[in-house]
Amino acid sequence: MRSFSYQLSVWTILLGAALAPGFLCANAPGVARAVCGGNEIRLDCAAGTVEVVRNGLTVIVASSVDLVVDGKPLSESRQPVRISTRGITGTVPAPVYKKSAVDLEAEETFADFGDWGIRLIARSDGAAYRFETRRQGEITVDGECADIQIPGADAVCWYAATPEFGCEETVPRRAEAAHLALATNEVAYLPFVYSTTGTTVAVMDADVRDYPFLYLAANGAGRLAARFECAPLKTKYAISPWVDQRPFARGQFVRIAEYAPYLTRTKGARTFPWRVFALADTPAQLCEADIVWALAAPADPAVDFSWVKPGKAAWEWWNDWDNRGKAAGCNTATYRRFIDFAATNAIEYVILDGGWSDGLDIFDWNDVRRPWKFNPKVDVPHLVAYATERNVGLVLWLSWAQACGDEAMVARRFAQLGVKGLKVDFIDRGDAESARFMERFAAACAAERLVVDFHGACRPTGLSRAYPNVLNYEAIHGLEQMKWYKGGYDMMTADVRAFYLRLTAGPMDYTPGAMLNHPVDSPYRGEKAGNRPGAFGTRSRQMAMLALFEAPLQMLCDSPTNYERNGECFRFMSRIPVVWSNTVALAGSPDTVAACARQSKDGSWYAAGIGTSRPQPYRLRVPFLGEGAWEAEIFRDAADSDREPTHYVHERRMVSRGDELMLHLAPGGGFVIQFKAKEHRMER
């Protein structure tokens, strides 16, 4: 983490004086504030700090903020020119989201310091601030101070850490604020969640554009400090992090060979990313928060996104090409099999992962008539035509190194081929260049009517609002880990915590749906599973994840063969929506159960939940249902699911709004239920 050590030296040189009390607005006492729904964010001009309060209780103690531009802290401008406040009202449609519309009601305050300012915003689901500058030409951002002071040594924190910026696929942890510590080579990535004084806080960033993503360093006693990956001066292409290819070749990775002494060079007149604090009375209610989406830049109204088609995808990589292995299964016949399976089951897409191309270097830069190389065993043009005839869209995988800097050309050529989307992988960086690439690539694909799935990328920060064709992001310790799982950690608890952490930021490509289910205490090891990978926990858990884990492009990880062998489960899974009209929290916590209810576009509801490795009872209340009787179709753990996790109970019953359903979660268990109003005919 070469940029990490450099970042420390930046603050030593540039911000030594700035971090002392009284650095911001020292000669202008007073406080700028924004208040909404019991949430308040305050900028203390005398102290140069931001504080967040919920229902009269402090949830973020006054914490230092500043931005270093062209070698000088913005705080050198000590006197605000004006402080103005306005109310925001209205709702906006969100056609590719966990809700059909988002309420924009908020109070916004701007502290104007002349050629820069700080904007505060308070909403019923949280608060946020960001810097803005109004300078001519280009500026260099040398560093940013974005401290967070957690009140109370006993505040419980849930977080995940990484030894490398951009690698956001590790197992979440739990610690009290007083004992919050990271290894010297680690930073925590967002969302970072903690509970204190009766409030749960999720620290996030939103609207990250032409700027590095925010990470946090633990500074002891509940203090967190911002860390960023500096801009690259030199990069190198490599087939692995350690082995270079020939000069300028487009390999699988783009690695930073030398860092610049700054975060980014950017426009002098711009807004910077929001520093976001989602606020809720319980951890469970975080799933209802819209603050990241609401604060992100909206889509250009002149651009038509009505063509964007969310959906599920049959996917070959995880199940090793229909359990045949790549050598035997990566061919045109197998992909036709996947397309037929998708068409038969109304699955919108088929993913062609790394096997469709001839090696890693798929682009032939010396022949403009042949912009990619196909695997001789995979007839991609034929498969495109075959899928199109059957109303199935193909999504092709590629490495970002094969598109970075040539986004428009790559999108255009793939669109001409007839594919419907691109899954771009191995970004694996958190600097401003990676953020620029993601926006350029989203725009280029939007122009060609291609959907996008970002893999090996940082967590979402709202880009999908501006570009609804960006259907999903990875940034999760997902089910792919079962391909090489060696033991040593609790995947069941990691899944539960992911719902409260990662999913609060936006949709995640966890890739659920495994049909080969193993007891949580089994000796299963992914590296020994060969072409039959499986998952810990019960069948009902895997089914539940399709409704629980928001994903407008939801990959079905298992093989057509395994789904056909388990038709009763798959028929239910295949009709679970991928976008929703509403999302409602259900009881749970990051250490016990993840659960929520989601309303589909047709008015029915789905309730889904998963538990940790311990068995536990779960009381499901259904206040989200409307009046009258509802027919519930239930998949839940069987009495012996702890020993035989493929076993489940499938039942139907009538329920009403005031009812409670007592469920038993096996170790690694789960449940999923569809509720239909009585007048609707039950599907059988």
pLDDT digits (tens, 9 = 90+) for 224-243: 999 999 999 988 776 654 44
- Of residues 205, 204, 258, 254, the one with CA closest to residue 230: 258
Q: How far is Cα 192 from Cα 94, in angstroms, rounded to an integer? A: 25
pLDDT at 8 over 60: no
Q: Which of helix, strand or coil describes residue 148?
A: strand
pLDDT at 484 over 50: yes
List, for residues 280-291, the tens digit of each pLDDT value.
999 999 999 999
pLDDT of residue 13: 34
Q: How far is Cα 39 from Cα 23, in angstroms, rounded to an integer? A: 26
97: its two tokens: 């989201």
Residue 615 pLDDT grade (very low, low, confident, very high; cuts 50, 70, 90):
very high
- Left if phi > 0, otherwise alpha if psi is -120 to 50, otherwise beta: which for 255? beta
The number of angstroms, rounded, from the C-alpha of 590 to the middle of its chain's C-alpha atoms is 17
> Where in the chain do CATH 2.70.98.10 domains reside?
2-228+263-295
pLDDT of residue 20: 32
Q: Catalogue the E-assigned strands of 249-365.
A: 253-259, 264-271, 274-280, 311-315, 349-352
User: Which of 70-74, 203-207, 293-297, 364-368 shows the lowest mean pLDDT across its residues?
Assistant: 364-368
pLDDT of residue 359: 59
C-alpha to C-alpha distances, 542 to 34, 193, 394, nearest whole angstrom: 42, 25, 25
Answer whether CATH 3.20.20.70 is correct for domain 301-475. Answer: yes
pTM across the whole model: 0.94
pLDDT at 17 over 60: no
Chain mean pLDDT for the chain? 91
pLDDT at 330 over 70: yes
pLDDT of residue 251: 56
pLDDT at 465 over 80: yes
pLDDT at 463 over 50: yes
pLDDT of residue 372: 66
First to last CA, the chain: 55
Q: How far is Cα 634 from Cα 515, in angstroms, rounded to an integer? A: 18
List, for residues 406-433, the tens digit of each pLDDT value.
899 999 999 999 999 999 999 999 999 9
* 573 phi, psi to nearest 5 deg: -60, -40
pLDDT at 683 over 80: no
pLDDT exceeding 70 applies to what percent of the chain? 91
CB atoms within 10 A of CB 359: 11
Q: How far is Cα 452 from Cα 567, in angstroms, rounded to an integer? A: 29
Check: CB of residue 171 under 8 Å from CB of residue 495: no
pLDDT of residue 257: 87
User: Which of 1-10, 64-73, 95-104, 131-140 shows the lowest mean pLDDT across its residues?
Assistant: 1-10
Contacts of 629 (CB under 8 A, 6+ apart): 654, 655, 656, 677, 678
pLDDT at 557 over 50: yes
371: which DSSP letter? Answer: -
Mean per-residue pLDDT, 297-319:
97
User: Which of 364-373, 408-417, 422-431, 461-470 shows the lowest mean pLDDT across its residues?
Assistant: 364-373
pLDDT of residue 253: 72
Mean per-residue pLDDT, 367-379:
70
> Count of residues for the chain?
684
pLDDT at 327 over 50: yes
User: Which of 214-223, 510-519, 567-576 shows the lowest mean pLDDT across its residues?
Assistant: 214-223
- CATH number of 2-228+263-295: 2.70.98.10, 2.60.40.1120, 3.40.50.2300, 3.40.50.10490? 2.70.98.10
Residue 22 pLDDT grade (very low, low, confident, very high; cuts 50, 70, 90):
very low
Residues 640, 646, 650, 656, Cα dihedral to 10°: 80
- Of residues 125, 126, 123, 127, the one with CA closest to residue 36: 123
Taking each helix axis from N to C end, the angle separating 567-574 and 539-548, rounded to the nearest 10 degrees, works out to 10
pLDDT exceeding 90 applies to what percent of the chain? 84
> Where in the chain do CATH 3.20.20.70 domains reside?
301-475, 493-684
pLDDT at 278 over 60: yes
Tell me which amino acid residue 380 is.
Answer: V
Mean per-residue pLDDT, 336-350:
98
pLDDT at 213 over 70: yes
Which residue reads 């049909």 in tokens? Answer: 515
Residue 155 pLDDT grade (very low, low, confident, very high; cuts 50, 70, 90):
very high
pLDDT of residue 78: 66
Pairing of strands 470-473, 451-454: parallel
Q: How far is Cα 611 from Cα 620, in angstroms, rounded to an integer? A: 13
The DSSP H or E segment spanning 294 is helix 291-295
CB atoms within 10 A of CB 539: 25
pLDDT of residue 682: 44
- CATH number of 493-684: 3.40.50.2000, 3.40.228.10, 3.30.450.20, 3.20.20.70? 3.20.20.70
C-alpha R_g of the chain:
25
pLDDT at 637 over 70: yes
- Of residues 377, 398, 294, the one with CA closest to residue 328: 377
